[in-house]
Structure 1
């Protein structure tokens, strides 16, 4: 083999090695960067039964990654977080006291679907109020009335959607609860 042929063979081997390295890096990148993104299923509602007549379905898909908190006292571990489900209705209010009356949220574990829950409100939900006569010049105001008096908390789990069925006319909102890192001792009696 002459010098030119030898050089072409080296260039070919070098290109082959570069291609192998390049494709190896692509595979490594795709398994370390793209695979975790696919690890969280999105809006897979196949295991959930259809809402019953008169019910509206609301779905919350929690983010897999949240922005870091600026408060160093809050836990960054999602195991320490909870999601508060808030069921209510936006209505126009006058000077009277208003609240929603009805059954609160209940949880149903779905058969054969690991860790999947269906949350629902069964029965009618009514707006109740005092019946005082309001001053004629008092303006109406819009407000969101919440069903129930205690927070309804569920574990934070980005792997599955939170599915809530409520009677038509109600809304579902949510907020995130994060725990403090600090653990305090109780008083022993």
Structure 2
């Protein structure tokens, strides 16, 4: 292979880590601490990825009654030093907490009880994994949000 082709291949592969061997795309990310796990979301490529967001849904499946239940905790956004890649870390969940309504005659059911507060929306980027560190017993799910193609003008007043 000519030097020019080798340089072109390196330039094409470097930002995407796509030419690396399997598993090396996680090499920049720190290992999980004791009692925690590293959970990975790898997104499919899409046209116009800027029109999408990823909602992180973090919690545990529990037996619940008719009340609204949630966990406390702080999901922190951090950056891999020297790489600039973001990742998310949840050190612990507190609770669960819930409302105190009476639920006469209603049986308990299994449901995902999630981290309370505003939803965590992150940029859709299929070129890098979304990496989330959580305690071992915590589940990470996600939902894809998309923007409408239609835009509207604001009123001038």
TM-score between both structures, scaled by the size of structure 2: 0.77
Q: What is the aligned counterpart of 1:113 among 83, 101, 115?
A: 83
**Alpha carbons 2:71, 2:93 under 8 Å: kept:** no
Q: What is the aligned counterpart of 1:62 among 34, 43, 49?
A: 43
**Alpha carbons 1:40, 1:158 under 8 Å: kept:** no
Matching of residue 87 in structure 1 with residue 58 in structure 2 = yes
Question: Higher helix fraction: Structure 1 or Structure 2?
Answer: 1
CA RMSD in angstroms, aligned pairs only: 2.3
In structure 2, stretches of 5+ residues that fail to align are 1-11
Q: What is the aligned counterpart of 1:101 among 66, 72, 90?
A: 72
Equivalences, count: 140
Instruction: Report the Cα offset of residue 125 of structure 1.
Output: 2.8
- Alpha-carbon separation, structure 2, partners of 1:87 and 1:124: 10
Instruction: Report the Cα offset of residue 54 of structure 1.
Output: 2.0
Q: Which residue of 1 aligns with 2:92?
A: 123
Query: Aligned pair in 2 of structure 1 residues 79, 97: CA closer, same or farther (>3 Å)?
Result: closer
Q: Which residue of 2 aligns with 1:4?
A: none
Q: What is the aligned counterpart of 2:143 among 169, 175, 188?
A: 175
Query: Aligned pair in 2 of structure 1 residues 125, 54: CA closer, same or farther (>3 Å)?
Result: farther
Question: Higher strand fraction: Structure 1 or Structure 2?
Answer: 2
- Alpha-carbon separation, structure 1, partners of 2:68 and 2:116: 15
Structure number with bigger Rg: 1
- 1:21-60 equivalences under 5 Å are 41=18, 43=23, 44-60=25-41
TM-score between both structures, scaled by the size of structure 1: 0.65
